[in-house]
Amino acid sequence: MRTALTLACLAAVLGASADAAAWCRMTSSRRAPTVTQPCVFPDPTTDPPEQYLEWRRPCTGIALSVSSPSADLTDEEVLGVLSRSIATWNAVTCDGTPIGYDLILMEERTTCDGPLYRDGGGNVNSVEFIYDWAEHMYDANAFAVTTVWHRRSTGEILDADMDLNERRGPYGICPPEGCDTRIVDLENVVTHEMGHYLGLAHSQERDATMYASAVAGEVLKRDLAADDIEGMCTIYPPGRPEGECDYTPRGGLDLDCQTGCCTVAPGRPGGPIWPLALLLVIPLRALASRRRS
């Protein structure tokens, strides 16, 4: 609820500075955005100094879970949506040159039913539909939550997992003009969450894919705005990150989230690896009108 209230305040601020760049980056900070400071900037005086979050390798892959497919769409339809969202981000160019980062949809499927990172073990960047949303202690108003596992001291993203709230559906594939408010366009939600996967935080630009709230039936976030592209070109300009393209997750590929050692539970950060979860919520105004109806 605190998140939704903050977003409503941000929307009020936007009118005064519509032309300014509005995109923000994720950081290792635990401070939340505020009305006066919608972007959280790293504080270099903390121990360790706060960092911007970013992948330090030029290629990563993401896999859909087998354990929790959406009841509203076929597997093929969900995989098609994921492919299109990935292609949208991969297509970003900076002054005509492609960004220095490539994301693929893996052919393999995972057994993950929530975010997981094994420090010292195998991993997979996963996408899963969650039925027992409340058990994960997520915001009930959220369509989705992406957990970005990162090394706190360097800001390097190690793993990222996307949870989709099955209870906020039914999900569908809307026509280009959008759906009525009974259907949630899956590509609209997934494309926003992919931005978090890549290290972008919320933008105050209402037309941006990374704007923090959405309504059912909306398709605005399927396409990137100039604001989103500017953020990507800042984080991953052509030629960066350097290194060989290798889609293998850190610690090797392990598609099985049900077994294995070294589990780090989200929400209980211990040691140098921290999870950071950002979500896409229904705006406060939409919730209020829904309650009246």
Q: Is 86 one of the binding residues for Zn ion (CB under 5 A)?
A: no
Catalytic hit among 193, 205, 242, 244? 193
Q: How far is the CB of 66 from Zn ion (least distance, A)?
A: 25
Identity of the residue, 118 or 197, whose beta carbon is nearer to Zn ion in the bound complex? 197
Identity of the residue, 224 or 278, whose beta carbon is nearer to Zn ion in the bound complex? 278
193 is catalytic: yes
Choose the binding region for Zn ion from 128-136, 234-242, 265-273, 274-282 (rule: CB under 5 A).
274-282
> Percent helix, strand and coil across the chain, each rounded to 5?
25, 25, 55
Rounded Cα gap, residues 262 and 1, in angstroms:
33
Residues 231/45, Cβ–Cβ less than 8 Å: no
Show Cβ contacts of residue 289 under 8 Å, excluding neighbours closer than 6 positions: none
Q: Is 278 one of the binding residues for Zn ion (CB under 5 A)?
A: yes
Q: Is 277 one of the binding residues for Zn ion (CB under 5 A)?
A: no
Choose the binding region for Zn ion from 85-93, 108-116, 163-171, 277-285 (rule: CB under 5 A).
277-285
Rounded Cα gap, residues 166 and 70, in angstroms:
7
User: Exposure of 253 by Cβ count < 10 A (0-12 exposed, 13-18 middle, 19+ buried)?
Assistant: middle
Choose the binding region for Zn ion from 71-79, 248-256, 276-284, 285-293 (rule: CB under 5 A).
276-284
Contacts with Zn ion, 173-212, as mask; x by CB under 5 A: ----------------------------------------
According to DSSP, residue 40 is labeled P
Q: Say how many residues touch Zn ion, by CB under 5 A.
A: 2
Q: Is 26 one of the binding residues for Zn ion (CB under 5 A)?
A: no
Identity of the residue, 7 or 103, whose beta carbon is nearer to Zn ion in the bound complex? 7
Q: How far is the CB of 210 from Zn ion (least distance, A)?
A: 7
- φ, ψ (nearest 5 deg) of residue 14: -55, -40
Report the Cα 183 to chain-centroid distance in Å.
21
Q: Is 220 one of the binding residues for Zn ion (CB under 5 A)?
A: no
Identity of the residue, 10 or 255, whose beta carbon is nearer to Zn ion in the bound complex? 10
Residues 211/2, Cβ–Cβ less than 8 Å: no
Choose the binding region for Zn ion from 229-237, 251-259, 261-269, 278-286 (rule: CB under 5 A).
278-286
Choose the binding region for Zn ion from 60-68, 213-221, 230-238, 272-280 (rule: CB under 5 A).
272-280
Rounded Cα gap, residues 67 and 81, in angstroms:
18
**CA distances (Å), origin 3, targets 116, 138, 139, 167, 278:** 23, 11, 9, 19, 10
Identity of the residue, 118 or 171, whose beta carbon is nearer to Zn ion in the bound complex? 171
Residue selected from 26, 81, 219, 280 as contacting Zn ion according to rule CB under 5 A: 280
How many other C-beta atoms lie within 10 A of the C-beta of residue 231?
27
Q: Is 142 one of the binding residues for Zn ion (CB under 5 A)?
A: no
Rounded Cα gap, residues 101 and 61, in angstroms:
11
Rounded Cα gap, residues 170 and 71, in angstroms:
8
Q: Is 148 one of the binding residues for Zn ion (CB under 5 A)?
A: no
Q: How far is the CB of 164 from Zn ion (least distance, A)?
A: 12
Which residues have a catalytic role annotated?
193
* Residue ranges binding Zn ion (CB under 5 A): 278, 280
